[in-house]
A and B are shown apart, each in its own frame.
Chain A
Amino acid sequence: MSAVATAPAKDLAPKILSRDPGDFEIPKGREEEWRYTPIRKMQDFFIPQSWGSVGALSSPFVEIVGPDDPRLSTTWMPTDRISAIAFAGTKKVVLITIPAEHIVEESIVVNLAGEMLNNYAHIEVQVGKFSRSQIVIIHDSTANVSGSIVTEVGDQAELTLLSVLDAEAPLKQHWNWTTNVGRDSRFLGLSISLGGEVVRIVPSVNYRAPGGSAEMLGAFLLEGDQFQEHRILVNHTEPHCVSNVVYKGALSGQGAHSVWVGDVLVRREAIGIQTYELNRNLLLNDGPRADSVPNLELETGDVVSAGHASATGRFDDEQLFYLQSRGIPESVARQLVVRGFFVDVLNKVHDQSLRENLMERIEMRLGMVTHA
């Protein structure tokens, strides 16, 4: 099953769409989309392997199916070799289905689990029209994974999709996320990424019809010599849609390297849209490096608003001084500043115990836990 489509040249959009890994070259590292990635550390991801598959416990709305299940999307196509290999290699698909007009009050929590140390994964989220739900995907923190999350948000549906990736230090994970937003629907994607040796996440948003809204928020944390890349693509092809991308990263330690790329395409026909993207990085000491690359490609000037901002800064000693001068010990002051840095992203996690848990994990990672 293979289909090859070619997008216009000089464009930030993917050039090849195919389920056949053979349709893609093995990247050499000089390609635009790979130029920041330590691909030598990911060689195994580019060659088909006999890896295990990622599954999850079945529960209401969640089932494990084969990759040939007739309910799965037939139109979704990988946009790079790595995800084509992952889809060809996985024997399981985690299928999450929210029926039309269904309002699910409780968060649907999906704990992913790999069969082996190395795994392929495929997750498909089908959200029916007029439904409302919150899905929390907890990634396997003890496995290497290469996979995709494909999400279809039906007309006028509301979906919050929270991904928590807290891989143990030596692990590698690569994820391709594709979200298709329906007419007048609202999608909130929240990506919390706290660890792993090499983590690369490539989220993209497409609009199926006018009036859709996509908010993509991310909080990431790197320490030691970890690498994380968040490469976001928002493809505005429909009029009167909204996109808002906010990613915040905190980095500490010698050799930590983060990459944030935010590509926003606004097509000629996407009139009256609003788009904004922001990346802020906080360097907690002298060692880390943060690359931040916002790109906005406008084919029409007939938009409501379009903007981007990016800033990387050191931990502000004046903030510490101010807080300490009010009697607050340095460790608590640092905690306050880091919490404050992430608060606008983490406040979107409505489940309070989960939000506290995530904040504590961040503080623990930064060696900042001082209170009992």
Chain B
Amino acid sequence: MSKLEIKDLHATVTTDTGDSEILRGVSLTVESGTTSAIMGPNGSGKSTLAYVLAGHPKYTVTSGTVTLDGEDVLGMSVDERARAGLFLAMQYPVEIPGVSVSNFLRTSITALRGEAPKLRTWTKDMKEAMSDLQMDPAFASRNVNEGFSGGEKKRHEILQLGLMEPKIAILDETDSGLDVDALKVVSEGVNRFQQKTNAGVLLITHYTRILKYIKPDVVHVFVDGRIVETGGPELANSLEADGYERFSVAKA
């Protein structure tokens, strides 16, 4: 059993016009075997939460704590967080010219496991994982994210999720930019991963569409840098019908 605990997290970003606070006291817990959805309007800071948890250098945590099974996550470097069992599927993964997908994945798995995977089983594992996500085998020899379509980028993120088997997975708008077929394939990949590993999933999304395929246990509504309401899956349905307006009005 693993537990990610976020308590009263505040974070700022430095811009040309000074520091501005994006996270304004976020508290939530994600446990193994559960799925939490974070839903919120554009600019609410939900993606910032994902980046802050992964340790992006652009953001500064000003107060609060984040622990994974009691260990202080905020004190860890970006790669230490990954090795501790955190994974972030990114909304906009960057291109790494000249680095092939297979080389990247092998380097990552080697770092995560502390030893290089056995060549024969590794090749087999990678082929299977790619075929599960309906990816062409030739994909492995392409450069990381270079010239990938939106759908290919997301499949590549979920491919990594399945191979890296983190304890807690944060999915940052993995559904955005996907057509229905790709959305199904990607969602099945997430579900397969969770069934196999019993990991905790924190699903960040703007739309309710993905919740048809990935069933959340808890839904948090995220507005203006904090969670303003928490409920069960039915909360997502009311958001689908009414949108985020009532929360914005409540704020005003």
Question: Known contacts A321-B56, A325-B54, A330-B77; is A344 also within 8 Å of B98 by CB?
Answer: yes
- Assembly CA distance A330 to B57 (angstroms): 13
Q: Does B27 contact A (CB under 8 A)?
A: no
Q: Does B180 contact A (CB under 8 A)?
A: no
B164 touches A326 (CB 8 A): yes
Q: Which residue of A is nearest B112, CB measured?
A: A327
Contact bitstring A329-349, B, C-beta under 8 A = 1, else 0: 110110011011111100000
**Residue among B78, B83, B94, B97 with max Cβ neighbours from chain A (10 Å):** B78
Q: Which residue of B is nearest A330, CB measured?
A: B79
B98 touches A329 (CB 8 A): no
Question: Known contacts A325-B54, A329-B111, A332-B111; is A341 also within 8 Å of B82 by CB?
Answer: no
Q: B interface vs A, CB < 8 Å?
A: 54-57, 77-79, 81-83, 87-88, 90, 93-99, 103-104, 107-108, 111-112, 143, 160, 164
Q: Does A163 contact B (CB under 8 A)?
A: no
- Assembly CA distance A204 to B93 (angstroms): 41
B94 touches A332 (CB 8 A): no
Q: Which one, A321, A327, A329, A340, contacts B99 given CB within 8 A?
A: A340
Contacts of A325 on B, CB cut-off 8 Å?
54-55, 78-79, 81-82, 87-88, 90
Question: Known contacts A336-B104, A336-B107; is A324 also within 8 Å of B98 by CB?
Answer: no
A113 → B minimal CB distance (Å)? 34
Q: A interface vs B, CB < 8 Å?
A: 316-319, 321-330, 332-333, 336-337, 339-344
Q: Which one, A317, A324, A339, A343, contacts B79 given CB within 8 A?
A: A324
- Assembly CA distance A336 to B111 (angstroms): 13
- Assembly CA distance A322 to B54 (angstroms): 10
Question: Known contacts A317-B57, A327-B111, A328-B107; is A322 also within 8 Å of B90 by CB?
Answer: yes
B108 touches A326 (CB 8 A): yes
15 A-B pairs (CB sep. < 8 Å): A317-B57, A321-B78, A323-B96, A324-B79, A325-B78, A325-B79, A325-B87, A326-B79, A326-B82, A326-B111, A327-B164, A336-B96, A339-B99, A340-B97, A341-B97
Contacts of B95 on A, CB cut-off 8 Å?
319
A328 touches B108 (CB 8 A): yes
Q: Which 7 A-B pairs have the closest CB atoms?
A: A340-B98, A327-B82, A343-B98, A324-B78, A326-B108, A340-B99, A327-B112
Contacts of A339 on B, CB cut-off 8 Å?
98-99
- Assembly CA distance A253 to B98 (angstroms): 24
B249 → A minimal CB distance (Å)? 36
Q: Which residue of A is nearest B111, CB measured?
A: A327
Contacts of A322 on B, CB cut-off 8 Å?
90, 93-94, 96
A316 touches B99 (CB 8 A): no
A336 → B minimal CB distance (Å)? 5
Contacts of B96 on A, CB cut-off 8 Å?
319, 322-323, 336-337, 340
Contacts of B87 on A, CB cut-off 8 Å?
325
Q: Which residue of B is nearest A331, CB measured?
A: B79
A324 touches B94 (CB 8 A): no
A123 → B minimal CB distance (Å)? 31
Contacts of B82 on A, CB cut-off 8 Å?
324-328
- Assembly CA distance A339 to B108 (angstroms): 16
Contacts of B108 on A, CB cut-off 8 Å?
323, 326-328
Contacts of B54 on A, CB cut-off 8 Å?
321, 325
Q: Which residue of B is nearest A342, CB measured?
A: B98
Q: Which one, B77, B90, B93, B99, contacts A324 given CB within 8 A?
A: B77
B153 → A minimal CB distance (Å)? 11
- Assembly CA distance A330 to B112 (angstroms): 13
Contacts of A318 on B, CB cut-off 8 Å?
94
B127 → A minimal CB distance (Å)? 20
Given contacts A321-B57, A325-B78, 10 further A-B contacts (CB under 8 A): A321-B56, A323-B96, A324-B78, A326-B82, A327-B108, A327-B112, A328-B82, A328-B108, A336-B99, A344-B98
**Residue among B97, B98, B143 with max Cβ neighbours from chain A (10 Å):** B98
Contacts of A340 on B, CB cut-off 8 Å?
96-99, 143
